[in-house]
Homo-oligomer: A and B are copies of this chain.
Amino acid sequence: MIGETEPSRIRRRNPRGQGERLREDILEAADALLDGTRDASRLSLRGVARRVGIAATSVYLHFPDVDHLKLALIEAGFAELDDARDAASEGIGDPAQALLARSRAYARWALDHPGRYRLMFGPDLPTALAFDAVESPSRRTFETLVRSIERCQEAGLCPMDNASRVAMLVWVSVHGLVLLRMDRPHFPWKPLDEMVDDIVRRVINLNAFTKPGARTSAT
């Protein structure tokens, strides 16, 4: 066992004018702590400082308090998650394939960054700071899902149900999938991509027009 309570030593003071670099180091260390093999436990200011190799008080040079640090992590997390989804669907013409690829990317990002994902969508942030407003990053993420579904509908690939309602169902389904996989690691899950595809197809009723019930045993 390596003494994990000790700092990562190597750090030395940033040169003059480069003080902002500590901010990046803090965010990076916090991400690493959240994503690491650690027991998905909660983030602490002192833990982050320890990992960066600075005094706990130095965090206050860049964040007024621990909640603002969390807020910065959440905002960066949404940016990363959105990027991952965009990258996954890049160059895919078929709207249904694009939606599935984006959904798989969402799920994979979540499972690769369990601590961050939990912070972004969990109850940890004090309600005073929790953004649920229309212009919040999570709402923007949701809106891209709505549009992705609308494109499928316009292409005639699935029924024209209210896209916003359907998006809610897709969102909660994939959310539940990734959370339970995190929290019940010993359950005999099927492969992630398979489950994501399966659930999204069913929820949006993909191919409902082309061959309903085609995969049943009643062939």
Q: Given A172-B173, A209-B213, are A198 and B165 also a contact pair (CB < 8 Å)?
A: yes
Q: Given A176-B176, A190-B165, A217-B160, are A123 and B202 also a contact pair (CB < 8 Å)?
A: no
**Is A175 a contact partner of B179 (Cβ separation < 8 A)?**
yes
| Residues of the B chain whose Cβ atoms lie less than 8 Å from the Cβ of A126 | 39
**Is B160 a contact partner of A218 (Cβ separation < 8 A)?**
yes
**Is A183 a contact partner of B216 (Cβ separation < 8 A)?**
no
Q: Which residues of A contact B (CB under 8 A)?
A: 39-40, 121-123, 126-127, 132-133, 138, 159-161, 165, 168-169, 171-177, 179-180, 182-187, 189-190, 195, 198-199, 202-205, 208-209, 212-213, 215-218
| Residue among A173, A180, A189 with the highest chain B CB neighbour number at 10 A | A173
Q: Given A169-B202, A195-B168, are A183 and B215 also a contact pair (CB < 8 Å)?
A: no
Could you list 16 A-B pairs, sorted by A, with CB under 8 Å?
A39-B126, A159-B217, A160-B217, A161-B216, A165-B198, A168-B190, A169-B195, A169-B199, A172-B195, A173-B176, A173-B199, A175-B179, A176-B177, A176-B179, A209-B218, A212-B213
| Residue among A161, A168, A217 with the highest chain B CB neighbour number at 10 A | A168
Of the candidates B160, B187, B215, the one whose C-beta lies within 8 Å of that of A132 is: B187
Closest 6 CB pairs of A and B: A176-B176, A212-B212, A132-B186, A159-B216, A175-B176, A160-B217
Q: How many copies does the complex hold?
A: 2
**Is A208 a contact partner of B203 (Cβ separation < 8 A)?**
no
Q: How far is the CB of A186 from chain B (nearest CB, A)?
A: 3
| Residues of the B chain whose Cβ atoms lie less than 8 Å from the Cβ of A183 | 121-123
Q: How far is the CB of A80 from chain B (nearest CB, A)?
A: 20
